[in-house]
Amino acid sequence: MRFTSIPVLAGAVFGAALACTTSASADVILPPPDCGLAGTNNCLQFSDFSVYSLSLLNFQAGAGPIGPSDPYAVSTNGISLQNALVVGTGVSGSGSINSDIVGGGLADDAYNTPSAAGGGLTNFQPTAGNQGAQGANIPGNTSGTWDITISALNTYLNGGTLNFFFNLNQTNSQTTTYLNSPEDALGWMQVTLRDSTGQNQSISFWLDGDACNGVVGAPNSPNCSPGESYPQNNTNNTILPVDPAHDEWAYIHGQICVSPAGAPFPST
């Protein structure tokens, strides 16, 4: 499996982790997806991925803004990522060597992701220049992607669900000419399943804004609304692969508005 992520940032440290949900593990406890744009929904569908906001889930659980002991706080009494596989940075500032969880050279270590503490980072884009050590025994492993063998991933998941977690820790101080506010961001992801024998065609799954055709407040409308899709229209964001079916960004809001029970959410 190959993982390619190109989030656009305006001045933050980026982190990502893979984690699993199993009946025997309390590491990740997410509710069943009920995607849509009504007030009672808990996620949005962006192409092939159901996308949650942990802040929204925390409000829906009656806990308000996320605190250290809340059900959807990360690495406390809520969601623990201590046993996650790391795609970017590390877990709790360390643990970026995935071989301590998946051995045998079957998983890449984490990307050594850049920090924009000085505000000089516009785009975060995993490349060969900032990738960690390669999984030595992954057939056809490439330096521009994060890779793991399917067999090793299935063993790690132990029948659970594959989840991707991302930090959105944008500051609200840098100016921007194309985002609604400085703490917003754009995101795009491709996950590819590849047959190392070459006998079967590769299959890719996408997180992008190309299928954002949902209707705010409408029942049975699980997809993101058109307002959550963003085109490649300036020098900072024209970096996606040339693919007409997957050439729109997913718009990531730094703030969300939680409406009273039963009321529809606004589109932005």
CA neighbours closer than 13 Å in the CB half-sphere of residue 193:
9
Neighbours of 137 (CB within 10 A): 13
Closest CA to 187 of 30, 13, 9: 9
- Residue 231's pLDDT band, with cuts at 50, 70 and 90, is very high
Quick one: tokens of 114? Answer: 């850049």
Burial of 67 (0-12, 13-18, 19+ CB in 10 A): exposed
Alpha-carbon gap, residue 235 to 220, rounded angstroms? 37
Q: pLDDT value at position 248?
A: 93
User: Given a cut of 50, is residue 25 above it in pLDDT?
Assistant: no
Residue 223 has a pLDDT of 95
Give the Å distances, CA to CA, from 262 to 38, 41, 89, 219, 265: 7, 10, 39, 12, 9
Most confidently predicted of 87-91, 121-125, 248-252: 248-252
The pLDDT, as a whole number, for residue 99 is 83
Average pLDDT in the chain: 77
156: enclosing H helix or E strand? helix 150-157
Rounded mean pLDDT, 85-110: 75
pTM metric for this prediction: 0.84
Share of the chain above pLDDT 90, in %: 20
Would you say 139 and 2 are in contact if contact means Cβ atoms under 8 Å apart? no
Report whether pLDDT(24) > 50.
Answer: no
CA dist 81 and 72 (Å) reads 12
Summarize the confidence of residues 234-258 as an average pLDDT.
83
Is residue 262 pLDDT above 60, yes or no?
Answer: no
Q: Which of 6-15, 43-52, 68-77, 82-91 has the highest mean pLDDT?
A: 43-52
- Evaluated on CA atoms 43, 27, 169, 46, the torsion sign reads negative
Nearest to 3 by CA among 185, 169, 150, 160: 150
> What does the pLDDT average to over 23-33?
63
C-alpha R_g of the chain: 18
Nearest to 150 by CA among 203, 110, 187, 97: 203
* Residue 5 host element (H or E): strand 2-5
Residues 59-68 pLDDT 10s: 888 888 888 8
Whether residue 11 is predicted with pLDDT greater than 50 in this model: the reply is no
Predicted pLDDT at 259: 59
Say if residues 43 and 52 touch (Cβ distance below 8 Å): yes
CA pair distance 145, 151, nearest whole angstrom: 18
pLDDT at 26: 41
Residue pair 21/207 in contact (Cβ under 8 Å)? The answer is no
For 147-200, the pLDDT digits (tens) are 899 999 999 888 888 888 887 766 676 666 678 887 888 888 889 998 888 888
- Is the model's pLDDT at 134 over the cut of 80? no
Q: Which is more confident, 73 or 267?
A: 73
